[in-house]
Amino acid sequence: MSETQATAPTGVEGESLSIAGLEDNELPLKYIFSTDRLNVALSYSALFQGAIGDSESGGSGELSLAGRWTFVGEEYPSRLLERIGGERDGLLALKFRLRHRHALLENSAAELANNIGAILGTTDGFSDSGFEIPDLYIQHILHDGRIELRYGQLSVESRLDSHALRGAKKAFLNRVFSTNPTVAFPRFGAGATARWQINDNFDLTYALTQVQASKTGAQVDFDLNSGNIFTAIQPGFTWLGDGTENHIQAMFWGSDSTEEREEDYGFSCGFEHHFDDNEKSLFARFSNSNGSQTDLNKMAVVGFGSNMRENDFLGFGVGAGQSSDTADIQGVFETLYRYQGPFNIQITPNAQLLVGDGLRKNFAMVVGLRGHIEF
């Protein structure tokens, strides 16, 4: 997605002055609605999974439209966004994401875990939840990129408890790697996040959002009357060493009680290491919660990923978790190879070995094939 750089004021007499890219003879609405201010991306992902030696299977697809509408068009060299994997954004922008999730087989891919008794979840997302608007928020970058504010309808999970190999569309599928089942993240709702890069080493993130906002049936719900709130605070520390980069973070969260569940709270500690060739990374995470609103109350994972050839990716992960409802303990080993083909097509075969209580034979082998294309 291309971005345009604002014309800086020259201060030379007789030349047209510019304030944040707006010429003195240009109408404000024309400036805001100009096509180079709007960047959009359309993608489609599909996942098919099945349990070997079992008749259970599932398949789902997701059509996603994401975009940014930049109000103030100055490019921002943001150390903060580069560190957390984001793009260089304007000073003030509206970001949005629309998606449609649908089953491609009789059962969605997300339903496979319940059908075989896998408490860890064989994939994140890839359900049949239909049309949703998870993101519709204002993004504000301040102080040379050191402060990022987001407010509107959003999923706060995108700014909390993250690591470079997270995301079921392009990396690991199992939920202990691709999300965090010990945290009662609301799916999406009215809220805000603030991230402050205090200096080159320390960062701090705070998030607040409604617990019930995504359960009302409305796709965009800015009703702030709900007293049920999810909050989280996450300090982090980054240090360099002999060409490597390391990051450690600790997230503490709490979620108010609802009509169905008691209040919940917990913490998650994560470590991430990027090797000196910048082609390989390692992450580890331990999480614990009270378990009244979460699928798991304890979880520990370790994962490794490496870029292969030019754009391919190879990953391995080992994890374990305890069910909040039954106290069953299960473990998982997952491996994947993501092939980057022509025309922005990605093909990813994936295999998961699950072991532990609650599975039909105390173990299960799940294989999957994921496809992703960006238009």
Q: How far is CA 155 from CA 171, 174, 189, in A?
A: 19, 19, 7
pLDDT in tens, 48-83: 999 998 889 999 999 999 999 887 755 444 444 455
pLDDT in tens, 260-277: 778 999 999 999 999 977
pLDDT in tens, 89-145: 457 899 999 999 999 999 999 999 999 999 999 999 999 999 999 999 999 888 878
What SS3 class is residue 365? strand
The DSSP symbol for 26 reads S
Average pLDDT for residues 164-192, to the nearest whole number? 90
- Whether 48 is covered by a domain: the verdict is yes
- Whether 7 is covered by a domain: the verdict is no
98's CB contacts (< 8 A; 6+ apart) are 64, 65, 66, 131, 132, 133
The DSSP line for 122-179 is S-SS----EEEEEEEEEEEEETTTTEEEEEEEE-GGGGSS--TT--TTTS--SHHHHS
- Whether 11 is covered by a domain: the verdict is no
pLDDT in tens, 284-336: 999 999 988 999 999 999 999 999 988 899 999 999 999 999 999 999 999 99
Report residue 328 as tokens: 């069953």
How far, in Å, CA of 271 to CA of 179, rounded?
A: 15
Q: Any idea how long the chain is?
A: 375
Q: How far is CA 218 from CA 70, 137, 178, in A?
A: 26, 16, 26
How far, in Å, CA of 324 to CA of 297, rounded?
A: 5
Contact indicator for 195, 158 with CB cutoff of 8 Å: no
How far, in Å, CA of 139 to CA of 92, rounded?
A: 6
Domain CATH code at residue 112: 2.40.160.180
On the question of pLDDT at 4 being above 60, the answer is no
Q: How far is CA 179 from CA 68, 172, 212, 239, 296, in A?
A: 24, 9, 20, 25, 12
The DSSP symbol for 325 reads T
Query: What residues form DSSP beta bridges with 366?
Result: 51, 352
The DSSP symbol for 11 reads -
- Containing domain of residue 48, as a range? 18-374
- Whether 241 is covered by a domain: the verdict is yes
How far, in Å, CA of 206 to CA of 284, rounded?
A: 22
On the question of pLDDT at 30 being above 80, the answer is no
Report residue 105 as tokens: 């087989």
- Whether 12 is covered by a domain: the verdict is no
- Beta strands 202-210 and 189-197, pairing class: antiparallel
Q: Which of 36-40, 149-153, 189-193, 242-246 has the lowest mean pLDDT?
A: 36-40
Residue 98: per-residue pLDDT = 95
How far, in Å, CA of 303 to CA of 316, rounded?
A: 6
Q: Which of 51-60, 181-190, 212-221 has the highest mean pLDDT?
A: 51-60
- Whether 13 is covered by a domain: the verdict is no
- Beta strands 92-103 and 57-72, pairing class: antiparallel
Q: What average pLDDT does the structure give for the chain?
A: 84
- Whether 91 is covered by a domain: the verdict is yes
| Structural domain count, the chain | 1
Residue 155: per-residue pLDDT = 87
> In this prediction, what percent of the chain has a pLDDT beyond 90?
60
271's CB contacts (< 8 A; 6+ apart) are 246, 247, 248, 283, 284, 285
- Whether 347 is covered by a domain: the verdict is yes
pTM, whole model, 2 decimals?
0.82
Q: Which of 19-23, 43-47, 116-120, 175-179 has the lowest mean pLDDT?
A: 19-23
Instruction: Show the CA angle centred on residue 166, arms to residues 165 and 172, nearest 5°.
Output: 80
Q: Which helix (H) or strand (E) holds 114?
A: helix 112-116
Residue 82: per-residue pLDDT = 52
- Please report how many Cα atoms fall inside a 13 Å half-sphere around the Cα of residue 314, on the Cβ side: 7
